[in-house]
Amino acid sequence: METTEIDFTSRDRISWVTATAFSIFHVLAIVALFHATWDAVLVAVVLHWTCIGWGIGMGYHRLHTHRSYKTSKFVEYFFALCGTLTLQGGPVFWTALHRIHHQNSDHAGDPHTPRDGKWWSHMLWTLFGEELHGDTEVLGKYAPDLMQHRFYRVLTRWHWVPLVLLGLGLLAVGGWSWLLWGVFLRVVVGLHCTWLVNSATHLWGNRRFATKDDSRNSWWVALLTFGEGWHNNHHAHPTSARHGLVWRELDLTWLQIKLLAWLGIVWDVYEPTKDQIAGKSLPLESAV
């Protein structure tokens, strides 16, 4: 893969579109707390599971970026649609950015390393630089496999449309409480959960593997993200569909993938062997 020509660490230009959108979402997320109903909370929980667990965990991350398993184009496209509902950009954008992160993890060119600042890695990195969320021409070279499909190109350019349609549907069916909880508060919670993988799991936790970055395993981030918090495991075995590598490392996304494999919906699921895991492991006294 070519070295990135985009300076994601530049702080010369604020992305006003992103900053405005995130500000509005955070304000309305607070407003949602004053319009809580049990049905609205349930809608938010179900959508969080669908959008973060399916859209980001099983979709954007383990399928579209790392190709940890195979499935039908229908399922691929469905997971990509779920991913757009998180306000994290379209599939080409997300995949390209994450591949760049792995290429330069915690070194020059990493879009969100804590070495550039804790808050930079958590969320400030999203507020600076060029607005590339819908730009397939610039980022497409980092996701050439997705660029072959018109669906992914169009969905990346118009990634905000599914979220708008969802919001209108929630408003029509459940009123303002459903809209506030199902879109604004749910999206903000999902953003911060995902950003914790960029920040917290490169700062705190245990290291089982001697990777060339600062990645760490965090059980509490894993709980918030359906298994994405076993980040040191992931950086050691990036193409593994399984991030929690032992029984005590709860990885709900992996369990969902196993269920789909049992049902025949996904196949060719990659999981490292015990020898591969042991070969990269740190000595016990160093795994802290």
Domain containing 181 equals 17-286
Q: Identify the pLDDT of residue 284.
A: 40
The two three-digit tokens of residue 8, written as one number: 């994601």
Residue 84 lies in a domain: yes
pLDDT in tens, the chain (288 residues): 444 456 666 667 788 888 999 999 999 999 999 999 999 999 999 999 999 999 999 999 999 999 999 999 999 999 999 999 999 999 999 999 999 999 999 998 898 999 999 999 999 998 886 666 556 677 888 999 999 999 999 999 999 999 999 999 999 999 999 999 999 999 999 999 999 999 999 999 999 998 999 999 999 999 999 999 999 999 999 999 999 999 999 999 999 999 999 999 999 999 998 888 876 766 543 444
The reported pLDDT for the residue numbered 7 is 63
- Per-residue pLDDT, 236: 94
CA distance 190 to 45: 10
246 found inside a domain = yes
Residue at 2 is within a domain: no
Whether residue 185 is contained in a domain is answered as yes
User: What's the whole-model pTM score?
Assistant: 0.91
User: For tokens 């893969």, what's the residue?
Assistant: 1
Domain count, the chain: 1
- For the chain, counts of helices (H) and of strands (E): 14, 2
264 contacts: CB under 8 Å, gap ≥ 6: none
8 A C-beta contact, residue 228 and residue 57: yes
Residue bearing tokens 């691929």:
76
Tell me the one-letter amino acid at 198: N
Q: Which amino acid is at 288?
A: V
In a domain, 12, yes or no: no
Q: Indicate whether 206 belongs to any domain.
A: yes
Q: Is residue 150 part of a domain?
A: yes
Residue 178 in tokens: 């459903």
Do the domain assignments include residue 222?
yes
